[in-house]
Structure formats: structure tokens, C-alpha cells
């Protein structure tokens, strides 16, 4: 399902001359991590560990584990480097899907009728084949735009859960967006950030989704959370401790605004988002998530109280307007 | 439900003259942690954080978070210090339940008929009232023994999930054990380690449990896991990274034994036990838990493959006998 040139990977590892390696991969690539561990042991005189801690992105680098195990090379499989987090202690091995995107495009082409100019976005696993998808769309008479990311993604057309700038870049030029990839969180981000009609097609299952409906339900939920937060007195600000999720400045800004509005505020540092633990803080009315944006958006339904992102807190306080938050709502 | 002399706690904190404090508490004490944060802010010019990461014991001290947040004092609420983990950067605030243990004893006394010499054990929350319970038992004509722990617990009669030596200490003298406290994991440990009839009474719910049945079911499950592991080829050894759960020597010993038996072995470091992530390693047949012993015993049913503790691996390999593992089985 995923291809990897192991010879090339071994040669990249060799250039680090490592003695102690820690391999990290998201759940979907766990067995690829074991296979790589085998190859490393067969080829180098090296101690290899395979992390079994959660990994949802290149923002969760296992520096704590690496320090405790005296690791001299972290191999992070599956995600592309996040530019401002680059480190010479980390070797990024992106994984590429071998699935043909042409079928996915053929499957979604009917629903794209009525939209001429299409913005094309995907995740890193499919990035190599995005231009094939572009060609097929063009054969169907579409004008296709692929934008440049400017925050945490690095490839043209690549989006992350926390970076849809490759879509925003071209939003003014297009009538609709097409996301090719799994999950609905990434294209929902595109729909929210651009306000444009957005469609998703999963190249494995060939399932097609109009994000319009997803977005309406999502916004209703967000709105309900914000309304609940309007009367709240006690706020718990979640402070991410993962390498790429620790935004102390945002925490302190939101904290001081909340205090100015007479709220009681607690700062809750976390490495891992655990809804049960957050729920156990009974005296907190509203959680503010400053770590990974997905926490508030995807996991918040697992907590019985609102989990807002910082901008949503500003709406709850009346500092910002709802319309400033989400376009075309 | 729990009492805490906050004036005394504040005076203990004052002696550290801290600037940046991180409070950590197990889930059950989350709101006590918030209350302490309020008091600290009201009384000191201090930055306070309240950890929302998992905390199941004094072995999970938040040193990683403390380093990232430049903390100069960790306040660990709820558990007693583990002697070999003591640190002058950590202030332990044990919590004491205000529940009367006499009622619990009265409730369990019938089931103790036929046992004259009783070993009494509890968890730290009830330790102050253990001698009241002893007196009530003596009024009923029992001879009561309270043993001395020698590993990680510090009070006479105190047991931990990883330390039942306060029971083992007196096992030769008693006919049965009485555990006063919540949960069945602690008294199950006593029943397994001593081979003696063991009874538990929860002082809050007054529920009484004969651990004999729990132990039989438990042993059947453990035996099934060990049998499954006998034919296994691929082992994943879980290496705990929490301060008091990192047993590298045990990992390396088990690893070398497994290799000697021709097994494929991977070392899987974890901070957090996540059954989904472990399950995602499809090519692993058996997990070996060297971190917190509870992981293999309590959480292993959430994984579709055996999770064995090191001794159980030795039984699976035929190095040890089942009878050496659990007494009186």
C-alpha cells in the first residue's frame, strides 16, 4: 500500500553513522517501522528502539524518549519535515502511497460539474502523484491550480491539519477545492479557511464527500460550544508540551485576556490529550486548546464541556465576531 | 471526602521559596489540585501550572514537563514518596480520606469467620486510620498483624500496585488478609504474592469481595496468555520511560533470553500505555511489559494479543515453572 526505497533509506541512515536509533511512526505505519528496525539491525552495528507512544504528526518528535535512551538519531516515518522544527538529529522518511489517483478523480468528476477552476490539495502520502491527478482533471476540461504552502507544509498542494495555506494561496482563483486523501479533517480545514465549496475523495475507498454538509454540522457544534462559553467563569487553558505544539505566547495572551474579563484561569500542560483526565477537572467550565488544533475540533466531543480554540474564546468574550472566525458562514 | 491541611501545605511550599510550580495529581484529585493552585496564587508571587497528563502513581513524576516549563518545584498530590525516587525538587502531599474504617470492618467481619490471625493492608489514603481498624478487628477477637514494606511503600501496612511487601512480611503469621480500600488490583496482588485467602472491603461503598474468585479468573487469563506465547516468534518488549518505570536492565535481560531462544525481539519505549498503538504493530505476537506491572495485568484485555510480565515470559519459554510464578495456585 505504501512504497519505500529501503536501500536509499539505509544509505541515508549510514551517513549519520548512528549508534543508537529511535524510530517513530504514526499508527498506520507501525509495521513499516518494525521492518526498518530489522533492516537496520541487519546492516549496522546499532541499537534500535521503536516508539510506541502516540504520534499524530511531525510536531510530536520524541525528544524526551531520545534523551532518556541516549539516542543519536531519531527516524521519523510518515510525515514531512516541519521547516521551523528541523533538526540534524532527525531523519524524516516520508511514506508514499502507491495508489493511482486517476480513479479517484474519475469518481469525483460528476460532483465537480459546474465548477471550472479547481484547487487541488492532498496530504504528503499522495504528493508525488498529484500532477497525474491534475492532468486527468485537465482532460475533463478543468483549469487546475496547485498552491504553495507558507507555514508548516513544504510541498506545493500539501496541507496539514494545522496548515491549509496551500489552499488559501489559490482560493481567490478557484471555484471549488478538491482534496484527494483519507479523512475529513484536512478538507474541512480547507472549507473553513477558504469558504469555497470543497469536495474530498479517498483514493483507497473511492468515497466522495461534499464538505458543505460536514461544515454545516461542524459549525453548529462550534457555535453551541461558543455560546456555552459565554457565561462561563472558570477556564482551563491547555498548554501543549510536544516539541511543535508548545505555544506559550498564545497561552499567556489568552490567559491575560480572560483574566481581564474577570475569569478564573488555570494553565494545564499536557503531552497527551486525554479526555478523561480533562473531564476530571470538574470545576473547569471551558477548556481552551492551544496545542494541536485537531484536539478542539476532532476530540472535543469526548469531553462534556466546551473545548475552544483561542479565536473561539475571543468570540465567546465578544472581542471578535463569529464572522471573522469562519468565512462564508 | 479527602482532608488536607492547606495551611500546613502552604507553609511547606513556602520553605521552597518557589517561583514556578507544577502541580500533579491523579484524576481523582484533579479539583484538589486546582484548589491548591488558587491558594498558591493567593499567597505567593508564583507561576502555577496544573498537569493534565496521566498520573497513576508517584513513579510518573512530570520531570519532562518541569524541564520544559522551567519549574523549580513539583507538587505531587495523592501518593506517598517512593523512597528510591526521592528528589528535593518534589513536594509530596499525601491525601487522607476522612472515611471511618470501622464500618468497613463491621461489614466484612462475617466473611472473616474461621480466620483468627488477620493481616491488615491498605493504601496510603487510609493509612492514618488503619490502627482504628485494627482495634475493631481485635474487639471481634482477631489477632491482627500489620507488616512493614521494604520496596516502594513507606508506611506499615501500606501496599502499592507494584509493592505488596507489607503483606508478604507477615504472610507466615496470618490465616487471611484484609485489604481496606478501593479497587481490586491491590488486594489481588496480595492474594497472588502470599497465596493466602484475601478479602477486600471498600470503605466508601462498603462492598466486600473475596479475592479467591477474582484470582481464579485472573490466573486462568494469565495462563491462557502464557500458553499463547509458547508458540510465538515475535516479541515486543515494552520499555517504560516514566521516571520510576524505566527498567533497562530487565529489558536487556529478557531481550537476551528471548534472542537465545531464537525469537525476534523489538524494544518499544513508551511514556503512555496506549492499547491502540500497541495493537497497530500487527507483526508482533506477544508484548512483554517491563514498565508498570498494572499494564500487563489490568489493561492487557484491551489488546488482542498476550501482554506478559517478564516472569510469565520465562514460564512461556520453559525457563521457569508456573508454580514458581504464583503461589498456591
CATH of the domain at A176: 3.40.50.11850
Of B183, B175, B176, which Cα lies nearest the Cα of B207? B183
**Do A167 and A182 belong to one domain?**
yes
Note the pLDDT of residue A327.
58
What does the pLDDT average to over B275-290?
Answer: 96
Note the pLDDT of residue A266.
98
Does B50 contact A267 at a Cβ distance shorter than 8 Å? yes
248-287 in chain A: CB under 8 A from chain B? 264, 266-272, 274, 276-278, 280-284
- pLDDT, tens digit, 9 for 90 and up, residues A7-62: 999 999 999 999 999 999 999 999 999 999 999 999 999 999 999 999 999 999 99
**Do B196 and B227 belong to one domain?**
no
CATH of the domain at A71: 3.40.50.11840
Does A268 contact B68 at a Cβ distance shorter than 8 Å? no
Answer for the pair B48, B78: CB distance below 8 angstroms, yes or no: no
Nearest residue, CB atoms, A241 vs list B65, B274, B282: B65
**Stronger pLDDT, A72 or A299, i.e. the higher one:** A72
**Do B238 and B226 belong to one domain?**
yes
Chain A residue nearest residue B283, CA to CA: A31
Chain B residue nearest residue A71, CA to CA: B269
Does A274 contact B52 at a Cβ distance shorter than 8 Å? yes
**Do A74 and A105 belong to one domain?**
no
Q: Which of A206, A239, A271 is the last residue of a domain?
A: A206
Q: What percent of chain B has pLDDT over 70?
A: 98
**Do A89 and A110 belong to one domain?**
no
Note the pLDDT of residue B111.
96
- φ, ψ dihedrals at B201, nearest 5°: -135, 130
Split at pLDDT 50, 70, 90, the class of A323 is confident
**Chain B residues touching A274 at Cβ < 8 A:** 52-54
Note the pLDDT of residue A296.
65
Neighbours of A173 (CB within 10 A): 12
State CA A182 to chain mean position distance.
12
Q: Which of B164, B183, B206 is the last residue of a domain?
A: B206
**Do B41 and B7 belong to one domain?**
yes
What does the pLDDT average to over A156-160?
Answer: 97
- pLDDT, tens digit, 9 for 90 and up, residues A256-289: 999 999 999 999 999 999 999 999 999 999 999 9
In angstroms, rounded to a whole number, what is the distance separating the alpha carbons of residues A200 and A308? 26
Note the pLDDT of residue B296.
65
Chain A residue nearest residue B48, CA to CA: A267
What does the pLDDT average to over B117-124?
Answer: 98
Nearest residue, CB atoms, A272 vs list B53, B267, B283: B53
Q: What is the mean pLDDT of chain A?
A: 94
What is the 3-class SS of B57-101, one letter each residue? CCCCCCHHHHHHCCCCEEEEECCCCCHHHCCCCEEEECCEECCCH
Does B272 contact A53 at a Cβ distance shorter than 8 Å? yes
**Do A223 and A308 belong to one domain?**
yes
A294: part of which helix (H) or strand (E)? helix A293-298
What does the pLDDT average to over B42-67?
Answer: 96
**Do B133 and B36 belong to one domain?**
no
| Bridge partners, residue A117, by sequence | A143
Q: Which of A206, A234, A263 is the last residue of a domain?
A: A206
Count: domains in chain B: 3
Answer for the pair B200, B112: CB distance below 8 angstroms, yes or no: no
**Do B123 and B178 belong to one domain?**
yes
Nearest residue, CB atoms, A50 vs list B68, B268, B282: B268
Chain B residue nearest residue A32, CA to CA: B281
CATH of the domain at A238: 3.40.50.11860
**Chain B residues touching A28 at Cβ < 8 A:** 280
Chain A residue nearest residue B68, CA to CA: A241
Of B269, B220, B177, which Cα lies nearest the Cα of A20? B269
Does A54 contact B277 at a Cβ distance shorter than 8 Å? yes
**Do B179 and B200 belong to one domain?**
yes
Domain ranges, residue B252: 215-325
| Bridge partners, residue A47, by sequence | A20
Note the pLDDT of residue B329.
42
**Stronger pLDDT, B326 or B106, i.e. the higher one:** B106
**Do A172 and A144 belong to one domain?**
yes
**Do B11 and B91 belong to one domain?**
yes
Whether B321 and chain A come into contact, CB under 8 Å, resolves to: no
Does A65 contact B267 at a Cβ distance shorter than 8 Å? no
To the nearest 10 degrees (0 to 180), the angle between helices A30-43 and A6-14 is 60
Whether A207 and chain B come into contact, CB under 8 Å, resolves to: no
- pLDDT, tens digit, 9 for 90 and up, residues B64-104: 999 999 999 999 999 999 998 888 899 999 999 989 999 99
Note the pLDDT of residue A329.
42
Amino acid at each position: 500500500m505504501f512504497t519505500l526505497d529501503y536501500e536509499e533509506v539505509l544509505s541515508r541512515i549510514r551517513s549519520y553513522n548512528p549508534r543508537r536509533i529511535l524510530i517513530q511512526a504514526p499508527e498506520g505505519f507501525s509495521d513499516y517501522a518494525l521492518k526498518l528496525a530489522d533492516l537496520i539491525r541487519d546492516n549496522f552495528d546499532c541499537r534500535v528502539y521503536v516508539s510506541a507512544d502516540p504520534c499524530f504528526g511531525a510536531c510530536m518528535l520524541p525528544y524526551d524518549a531520545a534523551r532518556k535512551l541516549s539516542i543519536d538519531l531519531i527516524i521519523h516515518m510518515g510525515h514531512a519535515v516541519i521547516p521551523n522544527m528541523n533538526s540534524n538529529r532527525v531523519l524524516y522518511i516520508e511514506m508514499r502511497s502507491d495508489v493511482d489517483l486517476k480513479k479517484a478523480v474519475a469518481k469525483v468528476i460528476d460532483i465537480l460539474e459546474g465548477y471550472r477552476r479547481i484547487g487541488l490539495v492532498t496530504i504528503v502520502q499522495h504528493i508525488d502523484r498529484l500532477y497525474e491527478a491534475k492532468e486527468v482533471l485537465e482532460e475533463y476540461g478543468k483549469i487546475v491550480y496547485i498552491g504553495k504552502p507558507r507555514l508548516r507544509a513544504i510541498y506545493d498542494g500539501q496541507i496539514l491539519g494545522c496548515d491549509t495555506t496551500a489552499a488559501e494561496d489559490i482560493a481567490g482563483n478557484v471555484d471549488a477545492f478538491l482534496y484527494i486523501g483519507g479523512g475529513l479533517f484536512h478538507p474541512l480545514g480547507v472549507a473553513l479557511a477558504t469558504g469555497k465549496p470543497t469536495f474530498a475523495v479517498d483514493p483507497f475507498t473511492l468515497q466522495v464527500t461534499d464538505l458543505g454538509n460536514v461544515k454545516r454540522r461542524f459549525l453548529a457544534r462550534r457555535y453551541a460550544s461558543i455560546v456555552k462559553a459565554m457565561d462561563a467563569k472558570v477556564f482551563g487553558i491547555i498548554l501543549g508540551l510536544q516539541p511543535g505544539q508548545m505555544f506559550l505566547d498564545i497561552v499567556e495572551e489568552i490567559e491575560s485576556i480572560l483574566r481581564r474579563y474577570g475569569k478564573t484561569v488555570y494553565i494545564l500542560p499536557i503531552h497527551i490529550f486525554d479526555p478523561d483526565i480533562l473531564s476530571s477537572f470538574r470545576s473547569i467550565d471551558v477548556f481552551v486548546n492551544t496545542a494541536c488544533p485537531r484536539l478542539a475540533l476532532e476530540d472535543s466531543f469526548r469531553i462534556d464541556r466546551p473545548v475552544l480554540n483561542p479565536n473561539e474564546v475571543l468570540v465567546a468574550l465578544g472581542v471578535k465576531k463569529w464572522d471573522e472566525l469562519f468565512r462564508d458562514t
